[in-house]
Amino acid sequence: MRFSKRMDRFGESIFTQLLEVKRQRTEAGEFVVDLSVGTPNIPPADHIRDALSQGIDDGTQYIYAINDKENLLEAVAKWYKKRYGVDLDPKTEICSLLGSQEGLAHIALCVVDEGEVVLVPDPCYPVFADGPLLAGADVHYMPQKKEHNYIIQLKAIPEEVIKRAKMILVSYPNNPTTAIAPDSFYKDLITFAKQHDLIVVHDNAYSELVFDGKKVGSFLAYEGAKEVGVEFNSLSKTYGMAGARIGFCVGNDAVVSRMKRLKSNIDYGMFLPVQKAAIAAITGDQRCIATTRSIYQSRRDVLCEGFTRIGWAMDKPEATMFIWANIPAHYHTSSEFAMDLVKKAGLIVTPGSAFGPSGEGYVRLALVQDEEVLKQAIKAVDESGILKAV
């Protein structure tokens, strides 16, 4: 058998490796708390589940969707206008995705040719780089450093890289660093994109998970944004619908049209009952968002305060459902520390190195367990002695 050289660019997903460690511990009857994958354990609100159930009970809804239904596109347009103050044309500026990850895996196929450059944050969610690699592009990492509050320094990108670049991917509130970008960054980004003829893709999956009374909006709300790019948004974290795979690519009509054309060749659209659930989510009672936000903020406080108390200092994130934490000084790598955590304390976290070169020295913890479970994890880590230098 002969296989594509393309796959030589990829190793096994870190999440797959961590899942195997979890399986082994679980089968052995050992204590384990999994904070590695950001899969919400907060279910969708009743009105969302009811809409999904009604759709599933309707035997006519099992045909190919082919296209997004008009009422879904109109609902997304109204949602963006009401929530973000952004006007969208339902016919030309909105395309559904089978989750943002699907869109991020495919967008480079619409934009870049082999050997061209995509600018990607570092650290970043792995598919930000994997999608361009699948398209045969070269990836240039843009460091997000703590000394800059994890904000990309556009002026630091080498000129020779910019000349070959065609697309720039950004995401704030950011996974994994949890950073929020100031208005000035978006304004500079739009100017930068216009100067260098770059297409901007902004991932806005965490705009509702912002804590302590703060609030963020949409990249598309800034003047000129729609001229240079698109935004991805997702119902996974905001509405607890991760497994339903609902996302949207919205903004620049030329980019959206190519995304639609690509998807028309590789899938048959979103399952119709899921479209009904998506409409219920973004048009229905929005009090569920505040409830979800409050739960994540409370979990954040429990975890950060608890670990800081036992000697693993953690800054409280301003946003997202993650904590980005330094590894203890007596560990050399994030993978070494993560493996020790699971072996000695039963706590599974994601090594920062899984998110790119600048992620080394950190681990990411997802706030996906109830508070009592988080307290058990803190106790297990404390009793393991792992935080003390030998």
Q: What is the CATH number of the domain that holds 266?
A: 3.40.640.10
pLDDT of 17 > 80? The answer is no
- Both 125 and 109 in one domain: the answer is yes
Q: Which of 283, 311, 333 is the last residue of a domain?
A: 283
Question: Domain residues for 23?
Answer: 5-44+288-384
pLDDT band at residue 132 using 50, 70 and 90 as cut-offs: very high
- Both 142 and 119 in one domain: the answer is yes
pLDDT band at residue 390 using 50, 70 and 90 as cut-offs: low
- Both 70 and 118 in one domain: the answer is yes
Among 249, 246, 250, which residue's Cα sits nearest to residue 235? Answer: 246
- Model confidence over 331-354: pLDDT tens digits? 999 999 998 999 899 999 999 999
- Model confidence over 154-201: pLDDT tens digits? 999 999 999 999 999 999 999 999 999 999 999 999 999 999 999 999
What CATH number does the domain containing 20 carry?
A: 3.90.1150.10
Q: Which residues contact 256 (CB under 8 A, 6 or more apart)?
A: 92, 93, 94, 95, 230, 249, 250
- Model confidence over 247-305: pLDDT tens digits? 999 999 999 999 999 999 999 999 999 999 999 999 999 999 999 999 999 999 999 99
Q: What pLDDT does 83 receive?
A: 98
pLDDT band at residue 15 using 50, 70 and 90 as cut-offs: low
Encoded tokens for 154 = 């556009």
Number of domains in the chain: 2
Give the Cα-Cα-Cα angle 264, 269, 270 (nearest 5 degrees): 160
- Both 30 and 73 in one domain: the answer is no
Q: Which of 267, 283, 299 is the last residue of a domain?
A: 283
Encoded tokens for 158 = 């080498």
Average pLDDT over every residue of 229-234: 98
Mean pLDDT (the chain, rounded): 95
Quote the CA–CA distance of 69 and 128 in Å, as a whole number: 28
- Both 40 and 59 in one domain: the answer is no
Q: Is residue 315 part of a domain?
A: yes
- Both 226 and 326 in one domain: the answer is no
Q: Is residue 390 part of a domain?
A: no
Q: What pLDDT does 7 receive?
A: 85
